[in-house]
Amino acid sequence: MTQKVVVVGAGPVGSLAALYAAVRGFEVQVYELRADLRDPDTIPLNFSKSINLALSERGIHSLRQTGLSNLADAVLAETFPMHGRMIHVRKNGEYVRQPQIYDARGRSLLAMDRTGLNKALLDQLEAMPNVKLMFNHKLVGADFRKKIAWFEHRPKSAEEQGDEFEITFDLMIGADGAHSAVRYHLMKFVPMYFKQEYIDKLWCQFHVPPAPDGEFRIPSHYLHIWPQDESMFIALPNLDKTFTATLFLTRKGFEELDESGKVVEYFDKKFPGVVPDLITEDDLRKQYASNQHLPLISIKCTPYHYGNSGVIVGDAAHAMVPFYGQGMNAGLEDVRVLFDLIDKHPNDRSKALSEYTKERTPDAHTINDLALGNYREMASDVKKPLYLLRKWIEEQLYIYIPSAGWATQYSRVTFSNVRYSEVQRLAHHQAKILNRVVGLGFVSALVSALWFVRSGRAQRAKMRILLLISVVAQKLQSLMKN
């Protein structure tokens, strides 16, 4: 008998999970709380509730692994490559832009519109005979032992009561986001470690129109960053020559801006080259007032499954802050890993799901932590000379010793499919080696200096040199550890 897979959530991750299930011949039903975003009446989710995306290797690989040859290409056709960051800062009062290339071997991040990706996946799904798509359906209950769930069809406003009905399933996949209802019901069946926290940064999105000549207003192939430590402004290019920009700022910072109304002054001071080159004063004020100021949540939990009947993927399992650009990619990768394990254990779904939890928990927790830590890199480190020095050293190793498999953590996260937990292990390993190398240099410097001192002349000056060498070596070591 054909197994029935119910997917809750028709965002990119849920849609991909449904596709993976469909190509395997399962009977697939997809339930989505919101309206169909392909419907012209639907307000695009993209501009009100999600930062636009940077698709990278893990996401692309997961799209390719569906086996649907045209899917990945159709999606890639809608992306816009970003070769590096462009840092916008004032140095000695001068406004400067510093490009920083992402990958010494030329690989790029791909900027893309969340809605575009979602539409492509939904169109594919719609074309499959064994898939049923249901929008405006809310999960109101699930019994993972009896494999029964209850949905409510909400055709009109969110507050009206709709029809409730019961369905059965063999496997329910929860891809219903950070505030997952599937996870909420799953928790009643399995003792789950769960932690959510909101970081002290809110975000507000801005639309940057094309220039009067119809072109991009600033160099297009970059992820633009205005790093200001406690705040940050970024801009990602879109295919239509616009940018989608985001302001990140502490809650208190937003409150102060709300009170003073001095948004333009704030941008003038902090983010050189934005007003009026990217956005006019009026438009900035208007968008700041009308676009929501939204919180950023970080979620860790485990296990991700119950028995052989329920599993969560994507933000439902590990919503993360957006600073490593991996949230969506990790979600798409979840789907690939999940179905690899389902294929590996065709007659033991319990085993497949428990292996999924076992493999995916350390990986998701790792990228979650890296994402939290990466705010500092984006908003502060990128403008510091020592950061640039370290980046340069690592790039040289990467380029000149490729045989050693040397690679930065960033590059492994972004341009490979190596498990996140393994990436971190490798990064620690490399840091150790670098430390030893630097340490060795330090020891020989120390020995020669001591010898020099013993030889008797001008001891004080020599001791100062010694001290300096030691300080520099230590600084390098602490840099390498990161």
Residues that bind a second copy (CB under 8 A): 140, 143, 148, 150, 159, 161, 164, 166, 179, 184, 187-188, 191-198, 295, 297
The token duo for 359 is: 């493999």
Residue 128 or 187 having the CB closest to a second copy: 187
Residue 195 or 384 having the CB closest to a second copy: 195
- Give the span between the Cα atoms of 212 and 10, in whole angstroms: 37
Asked if omega into 276 is within 30° of 0 (cis), the reply is yes
- By the 8 A CB rule, do 122 and 36 touch? yes
Greatest C-alpha distance within the chain: 93
Residue 184 or 387 having the CB closest to a second copy: 184
- Minimum CB distance to a second copy, residue 110 (Å): 31
Residue 148 or 401 having the CB closest to a second copy: 148
**CB neighbours of 273 closer than 8 A, spacing ≥ 6?**
88, 95, 97, 218
- Minimum CB distance to a second copy, residue 342 (Å): 26
Residue 159 or 259 having the CB closest to a second copy: 159
Give SS3 for 167: strand
Q: Which of 431, 442, 444, 436 is CA-nearest to residue 472?
A: 442
Q: Which of 397, 309, 8 is CA-nearest to residue 176?
A: 8
- By the 8 A CB rule, do 80 and 220 touch? yes
Residue 151 or 398 having the CB closest to a second copy: 151
- Minimum CB distance to a second copy, residue 171 (Å): 20
Q: Which of 298, 382, 423, 310 is CA-nearest to residue 87?
A: 382
DSSP assignments along 34-70, one per residue: S--TTSTTSPPSHHHH-PPEEE-HHHHHHHHTTS-HH
Quote the DSSP letter at residue 276: T
- Give the span between the Cα atoms of 387 and 382, in whole angstroms: 6
CB burial of residue 23 (10 Å; 0-12, 13-18, 19+):
middle
Residue 92 or 157 having the CB closest to a second copy: 157
Pairing of strands 4-8, 171-174: parallel
Chain-centroid distance, C-alpha 413: 10
- Minimum CB distance to a second copy, residue 146 (Å): 9
- Minimum CB distance to a second copy, residue 323 (Å): 18
Residue 196 or 459 having the CB closest to a second copy: 196
CA atoms within 13 A on the CB side of 473: 18
- Minimum CB distance to a second copy, residue 43 (Å): 19
- Minimum CB distance to a second copy, residue 165 (Å): 9
DSSP bridge partners of 299: 196
Residue 143 or 359 having the CB closest to a second copy: 143
Residue 369 or 422 having the CB closest to a second copy: 369
- Minimum CB distance to a second copy, residue 161 (Å): 5
* AA identity, residue 70: N
**CB neighbours of 237 closer than 8 A, spacing ≥ 6?**
80, 82, 111, 216, 220, 221, 222, 243
Asked if omega into 212 is within 30° of 0 (cis), the reply is no
Residue 103 or 315 having the CB closest to a second copy: 315
- Minimum CB distance to a second copy, residue 45 (Å): 17
- Minimum CB distance to a second copy, residue 197 (Å): 5
- Minimum CB distance to a second copy, residue 36 (Å): 23
* AA identity, residue 379: A
CA atoms within 13 A on the CB side of 34: 16
- Minimum CB distance to a second copy, residue 325 (Å): 22
Strands of the sheet containing 80-82, edge to edge, are 53-55, 109-112, 80-82
Residue 193 or 451 having the CB closest to a second copy: 193
